[in-house]
Chains A and B, each alone.
Chain A
Amino acid sequence: MNKRETILMKGADAIGEAAVRAGCSCYFGYPITPQNEIPEYMSRRMDEVGRVFLQGESEIASINMVLGAAAAGVRAMTSSSSPGISLKQEGLSFLAAMELPAVIININRGGPGLGNIAPSQGDYYQATRGGGHGDYRMPVYAPATIQELYDFTMESFDVADIYRTPVMILGDGMMGQLVEPIIVHEREEIDLPPKDYILNGAQERPSRIIKSLILDTREMEEHNWKLKRKYDLMRTLLPRYEEFMTDDAKLVIIAYGTAARIAKGAVKRVRSNGLKVGLFRPITVWPFPDEAVLSLTKKSKVFLVFEMSTGQMVDDVRLAVSGRVDCEFYGRPGGIIPSPQEISRIIERYWMQKEL
């Protein structure tokens, strides 16, 4: 493949190619639908570039292989879907505790339990609240286009290295399967902190330890506060979002990922009927762009949160607006992908009800 070109690419392949060009040295994963195209792509591509692809015996093993590679100082990733991501939570907690960089792709499917293999956004809580045990956070990107899937996968490796943290890309079955034209490009070199923590043998330096066990409660407390300071820095520097036609909007629909694509279509439809409606799309769902949401309350008085779940992100929106505006919710869980027409009807209903 050339250095920079526009090509048609499937979401799963875009993730794989972005990872390769981000310098990912190791991929470890276990098959699960709807993300099998990622390990399949990586199995071919990593071999081409002489790097490591290994199908683990489970999601648990795969995330722990990622941990080993990260501790050895190389860029590593894994990918899975909802039930598999549940199994990776142990490893995510350890990565966060040990402050090791890693990239985790979650192609969210319907749940809970085995659920189904259709696109869903039911993993929002798990992704944004840490998921595993203990007091930690994790940056989570929710792309809405294949270009974003490519760009944010690539960027997430840098974010992981800068903050020494696991980073999640939260997609869904739609994002994984969708084919769109995208620009594939090389990673921009940026200054990264030196990896002075890695283990490669105590050669001409003191031996090092990477661990999460801190039995002394005062030390453990300090470690928790240290992590908190890091998360506070992320809250300041990482939030990202897109606003679409919000300038004069009386009603703003808030949605992320696939739901935001549908919502955008709905906004365009109701705009053609003269309704002043806009879209706010969080790109990072942790840290949540709460300041941007709050500042929207100055001009828009009704927020409608739309998710492909029974309502999870809506909690973050309500926290951000602190009761300043009406915050309504519309959800389609279980793998249903509503049409823009359906969402535009919901918008019109609230427009009438709220007498906008």
Chain B
Amino acid sequence: MKKIFSRPECLKPTPFHYCPGCGHSILHRLVAEVIDEMNLRGRIIGIPPAGCAVLAYDYFDIDMCEAAHGRGCAVATGFKRSRPECIIFTYQGDGDMAAIGTAETLHAANRGENITSIFVNNAVYGMTGGQMAPTTILGQKTTTSPFGRRSNVEGYPLKITEIISTLPGAAYVARTSLATPAKVMATKKTIKKAFETQLAGLGYSLVEVLSPCPTNWKISSIESFKYLEERLELEYPLGVMKEVTTEKGS
């Protein structure tokens, strides 16, 4: 009998703790598949965030180093500068990437740090119980924006991926979504492209992945995929925002 589907080698045989309908489980699998397919396990180091994915090292069977909340890109910089032969990626949520870690993220990107960030945007703080995120969209209710996010009080959703795409140090910047099977497959290709960018030494690569959080959005899993496609994708358009194909000089 031919085996056509199995667990990626880079995933431990540990059941995910993530909520039903959460995007992290899908995304972990995609990242693991890409690492397997690109044969990177022996040289890759992952840096999980503070947030729901803090326990990513319980699932990935690769070297992983925890970072303090928001400091992923700084820790990744320390790794990459001391071990340029290694492939370094951060796996960060919206609070980690675009609130507390904005400075670390922007400056790593601007230095053209040859690392990859996988940025999971579900527009809400998941682990702490559904508070407002920098990426919470206008009108979206959270436990700390109970009246819906108002631009004149809570400010606007932060589009950090668009900002990073304007930086000369960024080599590959794209946004994808987990809303449909086709988009999931496109996300995998995009992650692969980001790692290829790092392998080619072209600079900072970033993949923002719009991901559902039915628990904190307080809707069903089915509805969350709909919300993802109809609301979040409207605020955060999908696509490749930047792609550099040749190395820049000093």
Question: Which A residues have a C-beta under 8 Å from some C-beta of B?
Answer: 25-26, 28, 52, 54, 56-58, 60-62, 64-74, 76, 90-91, 94, 98, 199-204, 207-213
Q: Looking at the assembled complex, report how far the CB atom of B177 sits from the nearest CB atom of chain A, in whole angstroms.
A: 29
Question: How near does chain A come to B125, taking the closest CB pair, in angstroms?
Answer: 17
**Pairwise interchain contact B65-A71, C-beta atoms closer than 8 A:** yes
> Per-residue CB proximity of B34-50 to A under 8 Å, as 1/0?
00000001111101000
Query: Closest CB-CB distance, A108 to chain B, in whole Å?
Result: 24
A-B contact pairs, 27 of them (CB 8 A): A25-B82, A26-B81, A57-B103, A57-B107, A61-B74, A61-B77, A67-B71, A67-B74, A68-B76, A70-B78, A72-B79, A73-B82, A76-B82, A91-B68, A94-B68, A200-B83, A201-B42, A201-B44, A201-B45, A201-B63, A201-B86, A203-B43, A207-B64, A208-B63, A209-B66, A213-B55, A213-B66
Which A residues lie within 8 Å of B76 (CB)?
68
- Residues in B with CB closer than 8 Å to A94 are 66, 68
Q: Check if B42 sits within 8 Å of A72, measured CB to CB.
A: no
In-complex Cβ contact of B82 among A74, A203, A209 (8 A):
A74
Given known pairs A70-B78, A201-B45, the reply for A64 and B68 (CB within 8 Å) is yes
Interface size on B, as a range, is: 35 or more
B60 nearest in chain A by CB position: A207
Q: What's the nearest-Cβ distance from chain A to residue B89, in Å? A: 12
Q: Enumerate chain B residues within 8 angstroms of A57, measured Cβ to Cβ.
A: 103-104, 106-107
- B107, A61: Cβ atoms under 8 Å? yes
The 8 closest A-B pairs by CB, nearest first: A68-B78, A203-B42, A64-B74, A57-B107, A201-B43, A65-B78, A211-B66, A68-B75
Contact B71 A71 (CB under 8 A): no
B57 at the interface (CB under 8 A from A): yes
Q: How far is the CA of A175 from the CA of B54 in the complex (A)?
A: 42
Contact of B64 among A28, A68, A204, A209 (CB under 8 A): A209
Q: Chain B: which residue is nearest A209 at the CB level? A: B57
Contact A58 B103 (CB under 8 A): yes
A residues near B54, Cβ cutoff 8 Å? 213
- A201-B45, A211-B66 in contact; A64/B61 too (CB < 8 A)? no
- Interface of chain B, main secondary structure: helix
User: For the complex, what is the distance from the CA of A7 to the CA of B76, rounded to whole Å?
Assistant: 38
Q: Which of B61, B68, B83, B103 contacts A90, CB < 8 Å?
A: B68
Q: With both chains docked as a complex, state the minimum distance between the C-beta of A96 and any C-beta of chain B, in angstroms.
A: 13
Determine the chain A residues whose CB is within 8 A of the CB of B107 once the complex forms.
Answer: 56-57, 61
A95 → chain B closest CB, angstroms: 10
Q: Could you tell me the dominant secondary structure of chain A's interface residues?
A: mixed
| Pair count A-B, CB < 8 A | 135
Kindly state the separation between the CA atoms of A68 and B54 in the bound complex, as whole angstroms: 17
Closest B residue to A74 using CB positions: B82
A57-B103, A68-B75 given; 9 more Cβ-contact pairs under 8 Å = A61-B104, A64-B75, A65-B77, A71-B65, A73-B82, A207-B62, A208-B64, A209-B63, A210-B65
Instruction: Say yes or no: is B138 at the interface (Cβ < 8 Å to chain A).
Output: no
Known: A76-B82, A201-B43, A203-B43. A67 touches B63 (CB 8 A): no
Q: A58 CA to B71 CA in the complex, in Å? A: 11
CB of B244 within 8 A of chain A?
no
**Contacts A68-B77, A213-B54; is A199 near B63 (CB within 8 Å)?**
yes
The residue from B44, B65, B79, B86 contacting A211, defined by CB atoms under 8 A apart: B65
Please, which residues of chain A bring their CB within 8 A of the CB of B82?
25-26, 52, 68-69, 72-74, 76
B41: chain A residues at CB < 8 Å are 201-203
Q: Which residues of B contact A66 (CB under 8 A)?
A: 78
Is B78 touching A71 in the complex (CB atoms < 8 A)?
Answer: yes
Q: Which residues of B contact A202 (CB under 8 A)?
A: 41-42, 61-63
Instruction: Provide the bound-state CA to CA distance between A202 and B68, in Å.
Output: 23
Tell whether, in the assembled complex, residue A28 and residue B66 are in contact, meaning their CB atoms are under 8 Å apart: no
In the complex, residue of chain B having the shortest beta-carbon distance to the beta carbon of A211: B66
Using an 8 Å CB-CB cutoff, how does the interface string of B188-228 with A read, 1 for contact, 0 for none?
00000000000000000000000000000000000000000
Instruction: List, in ascending order, chain B residues with CB within 8 A of A212's CB.
Output: 66
- With a cutoff of 8 Å between Cβ atoms, the chain A residues found around residue B45 in the complex are 72, 199-201
- A90 to B60: give the CA distance in the assembly, Å: 26
Chain A contacts for B64, CB-based, 8 A: 199, 207-211
- Find out whether the CB atom of A67 lies under 8 angstroms from the CB atom of B57: no
A64 adjacent to B71 (CB under 8 Å): yes
Q: How far is the CB of A287 from chain B (nearest CB, A)?
A: 27
Q: How far does the alpha carbon of A94 sit from the alpha carbon of B64 in the complex, in Å?
A: 15
Instruction: Give per-residue flags for B69-100: 1 if the beta carbon is below 8 A from chain A beta carbons, else 0.
Output: 00100111111111100110000000000000
